[in-house]
Amino acid sequence: MSRDALLGVYAPPETLFVKGQGAWLEADDGRRYLDFTAGIAVNALGYDAPEIRRAVEACLATGLIHTSNLFRTEPAEALARELVAVTFPGKVYFCNSGAEAGEACFKFARRWARAEGGPDKVGIVAFRGSFHGRLFGTLAATDRPRYREPFEPLMPGVAWAELDDPGSVEAVVDAERTAAVVIEPVQGEGGIRPVDPGFLRELRAICDDRGVALIFDEIQCGLGRTGDLFAYESSGVTPDLLALAKPLAGGLPMGAVVGAPHLAATVGPGDHATTFGGGPMVATVARAVLKTVADTAFLEGVRERSARLDEGLAGLAEDHDAVAALRGRGLMRGLALHRPAAPVVTAARERGLLVCSAGPDVVRLLPPLNIPLDELDLGVRRLGEALAATGDA
Ligand SMILES: Cc1ncc(COP(=O)(O)O)c(C=O)c1O
């Protein structure tokens, strides 16, 4: 096997994976790895989940993988209703990735803001540490100079505010010029930083006051990852637009935007589209995923695993001086280190544990939401060994 023909935008390690089962990946040499990346928060139900297998088989039996949005199909309509039922009254748009969901949010927000407030109401306010995707709009709202600079100019009109600092938001949200404020209720790539629920309430008030749409990007933190179905729930705040993707269709590419009725009312045929969005196969699988992760007993299980992980990580922080802080919620965790995360990621892999980083010095843990407790413990032990092998003990 050779990677020669792949465009060099990724730099994976040599290991070649050939099978997955539960929280485990198996390489072509037979070696098994406990996967605490879960496909970067995608494989919420682990590999080879029976719910997903059944949904794929049911869809294949109909012969409909794709029809396009020229025609109606049942799974997308049903999934949209089910998403509205677990979020807030509104309408759903389906796309194929997180970045596409973000771009759609920006377009829908602009459409509404301009209709309400005039042609200049196009700006986006984003937060320091944010990550919303790699397309020209979402990248413009992503606080990663290294990702942005080679591709500038990006979408103009983005202003920046600081997390948990309402004054910094007040200073840049302009009733005449701002269309939307976009925030991850738990920042992912920026270092696993949960936002204070009170701050989300302040954002809601500022947006209401200035006629600005509030967008929650729950692409990474949504759909059960935090132990709540959505991370924003604990704030009691409802956004105008909610972006979802990653785990939604169990590893098949799918994004979704839930838009509140006032936004939905300003969008009509031709305003936005994508060929694959909401196809029968992805929507059938997403219905199975949503049904599973929205179940109260399943979410209780996530919280139980989260408490167990808390204990394990607290032990690591005690034993290893390299750990500067523990961050995150549910099964979305970050170990902020006093040193670079990359060597720990490599040392963990050498010990059969897959983790990734979130920024230069945070080790990110995103195990499947249904991981058995003993495998969670095993992962923590291996992470401890990796910390010990890369520096202090
Ligand atoms: C919070 C958040 N928004 C958007 C994205 C972009 O999603 P995608 O990679 O599917 O385009 C990501 C991906 O990591 C993300 O974590």
DSSP state of 384: H
Between the CA of 287 and the centroid of ligand 1 the distance, in Å, is 21
Q: What is the mean pLDDT of residues 27-31?
A: 98
Q: Does domain 51-65+73-293 have CATH number 3.40.50.2300?
A: no
Tens digit of each residue's pLDDT (9 = 90 or more) over 32-86: 999 999 999 999 999 999 999 999 999 999 999 999 999 999 999 999 999 999 9
Between the CA of 135 and the centroid of ligand 1 the distance, in Å, is 10
393 pLDDT higher than 60 = no
Residue nearest to atom 3 of ligand 1 (CA): 132
Q: Is the CB of 284 under 6 A from ligand 1?
A: no
DSSP state letters, 281-328: HHHHHHHHHHHHHTSHHHHHHHHHHHHHHHHHHHHHHHH-TTEEEEEE
Q: Which of 116, 145, 113, 117 is nearest to 129 (CA)?
A: 145
pLDDT grade for 16, boundaries at 50, 70 and 90: very high
Q: What is the mean pLDDT of residues 5-21?
A: 97
Tens digit of each residue's pLDDT (9 = 90 or more) over 115-142: 999 999 999 999 999 999 999 999 999 9
Q: Is the CB of 193 under 6 A from ligand 1?
A: no
278 three-state secondary structure: coil
Measure the CA–CA gap between 99 and 183, rounded to whole angstroms.
14
Measure the CA angle with vertex 317, ends 383 and 358; round to 5°.
60
Measured in residues, the chain has a length of 393
The sign of the dihedral angle between the CA atoms of 319, 322, 325, 331 is negative
Between the CA of 61 and the centroid of ligand 1 the distance, in Å, is 32
Q: Are 39 and 249 in contact (CB under 8 A)?
A: no
E-strand spans in 87-201? 91-95, 123-127, 158-161, 178-183, 186-187, 193-194
Between the CA of 189 and the centroid of ligand 1 the distance, in Å, is 9
Q: Where are the domains of the chain?
A: 51-65+73-293, 296-331+348-365+377-388
134 three-state secondary structure: coil
Measure the CA–CA gap between 295 and 19, rounded to whole angstroms.
28
Residue nearest to atom 8 of ligand 1 (CA): 98
Between the CA of 240 and the centroid of ligand 1 the distance, in Å, is 19
Task: State the pLDDT at residue 1.
Answer: 77
Mean pLDDT score of the chain: 97
Pocket test for ligand 1, best of 97, 100, 219, 282 (most atoms within 8 A of CB): 219
Return the H-helix or E-strand segment holding 258. Answer: strand 255-259
Pocket test for ligand 1, best of 103, 220, 241, 252 (most atoms within 8 A of CB): 220
Q: Are 189 and 127 in contact (CB under 8 A)?
A: no
Atom of ligand 1 nearest to the CA of 253: 10
Atom of ligand 1 nearest to the CA of 218: 1
Measure the CA–CA gap between 143 and 356, rounded to whole angstroms.
19
